[in-house]
Structure 1
C-alpha cells in the first residue's frame, strides 16, 4: 500500500471590510448589493444578515449576539437567520449605519463589513464570495437529512447555503421568488429534494410517500386509548413487505430509544440535529433522558451527549448510519447548517486498493451511500478522512491469528479555531491532539493495530462556544471471523436506559401501561441477548433482528 499522504488545510474565516480597513460605504437612501463568485465572476446566491448599527462583527463566525435579529428586507426570501440575496438586492432602509455578514455554507469564507445609508446619493457594490474548498469537486456532496416544510423556496435557500440534497418532512407550496420568473432556473446543480419523510415522535421514516411504498400514519392508539405512536410505527414498518422504508432516530434523547433500537428496524441515528441551533443555545431536552451533568448549563453538553449515544449504539454491535439535519425543532436555523457530506466511491473487494471519493450520480445513489455510511456529519469543519486507504463505511475483515495495520489519514478545512482532533477505536481514544501538536508531528497519526472486531471513527471538535460544533465521520467496521464487536459496557448503557424507562412507565394507569408491555418485554429480551453476545464474543455480521419485536 502506498505511503499515506497527510494534508491539513487551515483556513481562517475572513471578515472583510469592503473598501479597505474600517471604511464604510456611503449610499443615498438605497444600496444595490450584488454577489458574485470570486473565481469566475458569475452571479451568486447567498444568505445575508443585516444589522442596524456600526459595531463590527465580533470575530470569525461568532456573529452577532443571539438575541439580536437581522433586519427583514422587502422582496426577499427569508433564510431563517437573515435573508437570501438572489444575485442582487436593493437595500432601502432608514438612514444610518448598518453592518452585514454574508454566509454561504461552510465551504466559503464569511464576509463581513458595514455601510452607511444617507439621503444624498445612490450606490452599488459588488462583493466577491471566496470559496475555501470545493467539496463536490473532491467527491463529497452535502445534504440536510431533515427539513421542515416552508413556503419559502427551498431550492433557493439550498443554493444560498451551497447545499445539494434535502429531505423534507411533508409538502408545502412555496411562494413565488421575488424578481425571478417562475420558469427561470436556479443555477445550482444538483438540487435533489425528497418529500416522502414522516416524523413520528422522534423517528424519521423515509420512503413513506412513494407510490409503491406503504403509507405510514403519523399517529396511532391502542384499543385502551394509550398512545404509543412511535412504537406502533416501528411495528408497522417491521410488518411491511417493502424494503423501501428506512427509519432513523431523529431524537437520540427519547425515553423510547432502547426500545426503538431493539426493534431491528433502525437504519440510522442523527448525531447533529435540532439541539444544535444558531438562533438559541439548547441546554437541555424537555421530555428526554439526559444526565445529571446537564444541570450545569454548559453549551456543548447536549451535542456531546448525542454523539455519545450514537457511539454506544455502534459499540453495542448495531450497524447504524450517522445522519445530520435541521430536525423537527430547528427554529430559525438555516437549512443545511447541520449537514451530511456523502461520497459514492465504488466498493472494492480488495483491502489493499485505495478508494477515491466521487459524487453520487443521482439522488438514489446519494441516499444509498447515506445508509451505507459513506459520510461525514458536520456543522463546521470540512473533514475528508481515510482509514487504510478506505472511505468511511468500509468493512475490514480479518481472521484469528492475523492483525491489521490501519493508517488514519485526513484532509481538513476549518473556519473556527479547532479544539482537537481524535481517532476513536472501539469507543476508546486512539489518538488525540490539538492542531498545532498535529502539525508539529508532521501530520502523522499512529496506525491502529486491529487484532479483533471493532470500529473506528475520526472527529474534529472546534472551540465554538455557542454549541457543539464538530465533524464526525461515519464508522469504519472491522470484522474478525465474520463477527462484530459487542461491548458489555455499551449494552449495559442501554439496559439501564430501558430500566429507567420502565420505571417511568410504571407511573401510568394500568390500562395505559398494558399497551407498552409487549414492546418493553421484547426490548428487554433483545438487550439480554446483546449482553450474552458481549460475554461470549459470538456476534455475527450485521444487526440482529427479530429478538426485539413484540
Structure 2
C-alpha cells in the first residue's frame, strides 16, 4: 500500500460507478480497475494488464465487477473479476463491447452493446453460465449513451439530429432521449432535449433519469429528467467545469459523479435527500503487490538542463503508470504523461520499459529498469537532439489545438497546455476558441488577444479562434486581438443558423486586426476532395477572392489535403503551407500537439509576430518528422524566381530524417521532376538538379516514407511551401484545375440552395454574387491559359 503525504482528491479517476448498497465505488484509473469505500480512503487496484481497462460495473450482489479491457478507449474485451480480491472470473467465450455493460437485476446476465469476434454490434444479453448470447435490440446509435433501469425492464438511450455526411450540429444540437423495453418492443421518445447528452443513469424508482449535458454552456452538468415532466429538467450540479458519469445507489439516496474542475477528475458523492455533496479523499493507493519508488529526472544532453518531456512507463504486465493527478493520456496504444524536469512516484515493484520523447527534433530514449520492493530507484534520462532547426532559423508551431473541447475527461488550463507544448518541443501553440455542436463556445475565458502570461522564450501559448461553418468549412484565425464574431454559422436551431456571414466577412475582420486566415482540415478523401462532412468546401471560392493566407497541408487527411493544395497552387494562388492537428487535449485519447507541425524561417531572435509574418510570407515547410530545405536559383522557400522566357532553374533540396524515407522529390506544378532515394543509415539526403521551366508556376520539395511507430500520421511526410517561378509577364494558371474548381463551385452552390439557410433573399443574392466573382476568376484562368498555348 502506498500512503500519500496528504489526501488527494483529483487524481484522475474516470468511469465511476457506486455499488448498489452505496458503500463502495469502482473506477478506471490510469487504465486499471480500482475500488474504494464510498467515504474515501484507500483505493485498491482490482485488475490491470496489457492495454487499458475501462467502464467498470457492479453485479447486484456486489461480488463481481465487469469491465472492458483493450487497446482502445471506447471498448474492449469483456472481463469479470472478484470485487474483493481482483481474482479473474471466467466469461463464457470471448466477448467484446463498446460502452459500459450492465448486470441484470438477477446477476445472471450481462447486457450491453456486445458482440463476438467478427460479429456486428447489437444490444445483446450474455448468459454468464451458459454463454448464450441473445440479441435484444438494435439501438439506432450504439456509440451514444444508454442505461438499464434498476428493475431491468427498460433501456434508456440517446439519438442525435446528426446525419451521415454532415457535421455534428448541422441539423441541430438537440438529443432525443428514448426508452424501450429491454426485451424488445416499440421505443417511446421521452423528450427532445435541447443539448447533447453524454451519460445516463436511472433513478431508483425508475421515474427519472440523471443525465450529463452541456445545456446552456460548454461544461457538462447533471440534470434530473422526470419522466412525467421531461420538458422541465432540474439542474443538479453547478460546477466550474464538467460533472460526468452519474450513478445512483440502490436506496436512491446517493448520487456519485466525477468533477474535473481541478484538471483531473475527482469523485463527488451527493446525498440526494440532504442535498449535500462532498469530494472523496484518496489517502492510500493499494496496488495489491509490493511497491518501489522511482525518482526520475529528464535532462537535455546538449545543455545539461532539465527538460520537459512526454514519458511512458510500461510495466512488464503491459499496464501503464503515472503519478497521481497527472493528465495521463493515450497516443496510439501507449499511455503517457508529461514531466517537467523531474518527478517521484511509487509504483508496483517489477520490470518496466521507460520511453521518453521531446518532439520530432529529439531521439526517443528507451530503457529498461527494475523497481525493487521498498527501495528507491534513481533514474536520469538524457534526451539528445538529432537536429536543431532553431539554430538554422526555423521555428515550429501549429494552428489547430483544442485545449478543451467537450466529451473529454480532463479540464485543461494554460499551465497544463504549457507542459504539453513544451514537452513536444513546440515553439508556437495556437489554441482554439470554438463551438462544437451548438451555441456554447469553448475556452473563451482563456482568450487574451496576446500570448498567454505562461508563455516562455521558447514556448508561446496563444488562444485564438476556429471559425466553424457547417457548409463553407473551418478556418483557424490566428494572431487575433479580438475574437471574430460570429464564431460559428450554419448550425440549425442556434443563435447562428444561417450560412452568413461568409468567409469573406470573417477574413476581413481577421485581417483588419493583423490576423492570419488559415483553412484547416481541408480534405480527407483523395478520390473526391470535395466530399466529407468537414472538408473545406468554400476554400476554392475564397482562395480565388484572395481571402486566404495559408492552409493546413498536414494535420488530417494529408494525402487529400496535399492534392487539393497542388490544384490551388496550379491556379496561381499563393497560399502558404501550414499544419494543424485538430487535437483535443482534454480527451484521454487524442493526437499530440504539434505531432504534425509547420516550421517557419525567420531572421534574428524568435518571436510570435515574426512566426506569423514568416508563415504569411510562405517561408514554411510542414512535417511530422522530416526536416526540409529548398532553394531555386538561390531563392529560399517563399521566394520568387523571374525568368525572361522559358528556360532552366537550378534546384537544391535537402531532407534530414531520423526515420527511413522512401524518397525526396522536387515538384514543379505538382509533377515530380526529380527524385532522390535516401541511402540507408544516412540522416541526410540531397538532391541537386536542373529542371526545365516552360511556364510560370511553383516548385516545392516533398519527402515521403512509411509510417513510423513514434510518428503521428498515415505516413512519414514533409512538404515545403513553394518557390514561385514567373516566366516573362505570363501569369500561372492551369485550365484543367480551374475547370475542376468551377465544377466544385457548382456542386457547392447546389447544396447551398438546397439548404436554403438565409434570413432573406437579399442575403442569398449577396452570397451568390460572391460565388459568381469566384467563378469569374476561374473563367479568366481558363481564358489566359488558352491564349498562352496558342
**TM-score, reference length from structure 1:** 0.72
Matched, 1:423 2:666: yes
Alpha-carbon separation, structure 2, partners of 1:496 and 1:433: 36
Who is 1:30 aligned against?
A: 293
Who is 2:39 aligned against?
A: none
Who is 1:248 aligned against?
A: 518
Structure 2, unmatched stretches of 5+, are 1-289, 404-411, 434-442, 447-452, 524-534
SS in structure 2 of the partner of residue 416 of structure 1: coil
Alpha-carbon separation, structure 1, partners of 2:343 and 2:380: 11
Of stretches 361-370 and 461-470 in structure 1, the one that deviates more from structure 2 is 461-470
Who is 2:570 aligned against?
A: 315
Distance 1:510 1:325, change over 3 A: closer
Alpha-carbon separation, structure 2, partners of 1:262 and 1:415: 39
Alpha-carbon separation, structure 1, partners of 2:637 and 2:736: 24
CA positional deviation for 1:47? 0.8
Question: Given that residues 480 and 513 in structure 2 are in contact (C-alpha distance below 8 angstroms), is that contact kept between their aligned partners in structure 1?
Answer: no
Residue of 497, 512, 518 corresponding to 2:744: 497
SS in structure 2 of the partner of residue 436 of structure 1: coil
Distance 1:39 1:173, change over 3 A: farther
Matched, 1:433 2:676: yes
Question: Given that residues 416 and 464 in structure 1 are in contact (C-alpha distance below 8 angstroms), is that contact kept between their aligned partners in structure 2?
Answer: no
Cα displacement string for residues 41-81 of structure 1 (whole angstroms, at most 9, x for unaligned residues): 222111112223367xxxxxxxxxxxxx8544324455664
Residue of 418, 438, 453 corresponding to 2:696: 453
Matched, 1:257 2:530: no
Matched, 1:199 2:467: yes
Cα displacement string for residues 345-399 of structure 1 (whole angstroms, at most 9, x for unaligned residues): xxxxxxxxxxxxx455421111100000001111111122322222200011222
Who is 2:632 aligned against?
A: 387
CA positional deviation for 1:220? 4.3
SS in structure 1 of the partner of residue 502 of structure 2: helix
CA positional deviation for 1:92? 1.7
SS in structure 2 of the partner of residue 418 of structure 1: coil
Question: Given that residues 258 and 494 in structure 1 are in contact (C-alpha distance below 8 angstroms), is that contact kept between their aligned partners in structure 2?
Answer: yes
Question: Given that residues 141 and 359 in structure 1 are in contact (C-alpha distance below 8 angstroms), is that contact kept between their aligned partners in structure 2?
Answer: no
Alpha-carbon separation, structure 1, partners of 2:350 and 2:628: 41
Who is 2:504 aligned against?
A: 234
Alpha-carbon separation, structure 2, partners of 1:259 and 1:70: 48
Who is 1:219 aligned against?
A: 488
Who is 1:17 aligned against?
A: none
Who is 1:98 aligned against?
A: 352
Residue of 61, 66, 88 corresponding to 2:342: 88
Question: Given that residues 661 and 705 in structure 2 are in contact (C-alpha distance below 8 angstroms), is that contact kept between their aligned partners in structure 1?
Answer: yes
Matched, 1:121 2:383: no
Question: Given that residues 484 and 539 in structure 1 are in contact (C-alpha distance below 8 angstroms), is that contact kept between their aligned partners in structure 2?
Answer: no
- Root mean square deviation, CA, Å: 3.6
Distance 1:138 1:75, change over 3 A: same
Greater share of helix: 1
Alpha-carbon separation, structure 2, partners of 1:240 and 1:206: 7
CA positional deviation for 1:404? 4.2
Alpha-carbon separation, structure 1, partners of 2:468 and 2:757: 24
Cα displacement string for residues 272-321 of structure 1 (whole angstroms, at most 9, x for unaligned residues): 12x2xxxxxxxxxxxxxxxxxxxxxxxxxx32111111111111111111
**TM-score, reference length from structure 2:** 0.51
Who is 1:326 aligned against?
A: 581
Matched, 1:156 2:419: yes
Of stretches 358-367 and 29-38 in structure 1, the one that deviates more from structure 2 is 358-367
Who is 1:374 aligned against?
A: 619
Alpha-carbon separation, structure 2, partners of 1:70 and 1:500: 49
SS in structure 2 of the partner of residue 195 of structure 1: strand
CA positional deviation for 1:116? 3.1
Rg bigger for which structure?
A: 2
Distance 1:80 1:369, change over 3 A: farther
Q: Which has the higher contact order (CA 8 A, sep 6+)?
A: 1
Matched, 1:530 2:530: no
Alpha-carbon separation, structure 1, partners of 2:759 and 2:297: 60
Greater share of strand: 2
CA positional deviation for 1:197? 2.8
